[in-house]
Amino acid sequence: MSDTKILIVEDELLIAKGLSRKLKKLGYTVIDIVSSGTKAIQRATEVKPDLILMDIVIKGDIDGIETATQIHEQLGIPVVYLTAYADDQTLDRAETTGSYGYILKPFKDRELHATIKMALKKHQQQADVQQSLLKTQVFSEEKSQLLSMVAHDIRNPLTTIQGSSEILQYYQHKLTEEKQVKHFERIQFAIDNINQMLEDILILGKTGARKLSFEPIPLNALAFCQSILEQFQSTTKQHQLTFCSQKECSQTYLDGKLLSHILANLLSNAIKYSPEGGNIHLEVCGDEQQMIFRVRDQGIGIPPEYQAKLFEQFERADNVGKIPGTGLGLCIVKQAVDLHQGTITMESELGVGTTFTVVLPVLKGDGEMGS
């Protein structure tokens, strides 16, 4: 009990001293006695007591109830009122300020002890409820973040399936057996990708586990990027997708799921915002400390006045014309980059093209990285 710190706000010194003695006898620590509302707020801010015992009628401009309201709002410290009389009006006022109880003067030990214990308990319960509300809120934000990510990005593998299955349907006889196998593999890969996303949502729904987290694994960035690029190449004939990388990128340590959200959105934008076609270049380089992914297109470019809003939800630049979009892709990219503690920058010139550069630090998990 001695670790419970109490501040007394009472302008009659004799009463305050008597109360202090009783509290010490009961095992509480009295950290100070002050006599006005202003001093009470100042001391409460400085010493952060666990509980304040506050006389309703005190010296100064603000009375005990007003002081308690301010302390409760600003500092969240529970206050128990001390009062010599308790007319209905005063009690009503005290109650509307979220009072934790009151003690009538002269104080009786048992009453004092019981009221303090109840006030501390009530305060603890309120703090627990608030904590669990906060957790629920954070969780539901994470959940909706993951849901919107999947709902948005599931279109990429679906486009691959559509593209490759159409090619197989209409041109199968013209394709070599090797090319046909390639398209079937792309379809399989895209289906696996969709399954993985749906599984993440199901796990989130069933177990409540945090799924939108950063889970780096040893990853061959070279093969990873090449496979994503191939998938996107199968969705367009107008664009030439090229790739360059360093050998060092074959072994790195990143979150593959997040990386695929990043690259898929950047590549789909590069294709979508180059309606005249052209080259789209993906470059990967890096070392043991960081990986750099750069996506360059020769598209419509991004107007300078829009660039500040680039990563905000539902924001689209004026020059997109009839090109469809929801304005969510880059927001998802930014979230994935942030989870990696990375950075994303952009350079663009209207009518010339755009380059997005993502830098991800390679955070090794328990020194597991193989290189």
Q: Which residue from 103, 204, 254, 302 is in contact with ligand ATP, where contact means CB under 6 A? A: 302
Q: How many residues bind ligand ATP (CB under 6 A)?
A: 22
Q: Is 269 in the site for Mg ion (CB under 5 A)?
A: yes
Query: CB-wise, 225 or 270, nearer to ligand ATP?
Result: 270
Q: Which does 326 bind (CB under 5 to 8 A by kind): Mg ion, ligand ATP, none?
A: ligand ATP
Stretch that binds Mg ion, among 78-86, 198-206, 311-319, 321-329 (CB under 5 A): 321-329
- In degrees, rounded to 5, the angle at the alpha carbon of residue 199 between the alpha carbons of residues 193 and 201 is 110
Q: Is 298 in the site for ligand ATP (CB under 6 A)?
A: no
Q: Is 297 in the site for ligand ATP (CB under 6 A)?
A: yes
Tell me the C-alpha distance between 329 and 154, whole Å: 12
Q: Which does 18 bind (CB under 5 to 8 A by kind): Mg ion, ligand ATP, none?
A: none
Q: Which residue from 37, 64, 163, 329 is in contact with ligand ATP, where contact means CB under 6 A? A: 329
Distance between start and end Cα atoms, the chain: 56
Binding to ligand ATP (CB under 6 A) within 236-275 occurs at 265, 269-270, 273
Q: Is 310 in the site for ligand ATP (CB under 6 A)?
A: yes
Tell me the C-alpha distance between 269 and 267, whole Å: 5
Query: CB-wise, 243 or 306, nearer to ligand ATP?
Result: 306
Tell me the C-alpha distance between 2 and 155, whole Å: 61
Q: Which residue from 300, 358, 360, 362 is in contact with ligand ATP, where contact means CB under 6 A? A: 300
Stretch that binds ligand ATP, among 51-59, 80-88, 162-170, 317-325 (CB under 6 A): 317-325
Q: Contact, 346 vs 275, CB < 8 A?
A: no
16 Cβ neighbours under 8 A, 6+ residues apart: 8, 10, 33, 35
Q: Which does 103 bind (CB under 5 to 8 A by kind): ligand ATP, Mg ion, none?
A: none
What is the four-CA torsion angle of 123, 127, 129, 130, rounded to 10 degrees? 130
Q: Contact, 161 vs 193, CB < 8 A?
A: no
**What crossing angle do the helices spanning 256-272 and 177-207 adopt, rounded to 10°?**
120
Q: Which does 310 bind (CB under 5 to 8 A by kind): ligand ATP, Mg ion, none?
A: ligand ATP
AA letter at 99: S
Q: Contact, 223 vs 250, CB < 8 A?
A: yes
Query: CB-wise, 216 or 329, nearer to Mg ion?
Result: 329
Q: Is 64 in the site for Mg ion (CB under 5 A)?
A: no
Shortest reach from residue 358's CB to ligand ATP, in Å? 13
Of 184, 200, 101, whose CA–CA distance to 147 is shortest? Answer: 200
Q: Give the pair of three-digit tokens for residue 307.
A: 């660039």
Query: CB-wise, 231 or 269, nearer to Mg ion?
Result: 269
Q: Is 354 in the site for ligand ATP (CB under 6 A)?
A: yes
What is the four-CA torsion angle of 40, 46, 51, 57, rounded to 10 degrees? 0
Long-range contacts of 308-313 (CB under 8 A, 24+ apart): 310/346, 311/344
Judged by the rule CB under 5 A, the positions of this chain that interact with Mg ion are: 269, 329
Judged by the rule CB under 6 A, the positions of this chain that interact with ligand ATP are: 152, 265, 269-270, 273, 297, 299-302, 310, 316-317, 320, 325-331, 354
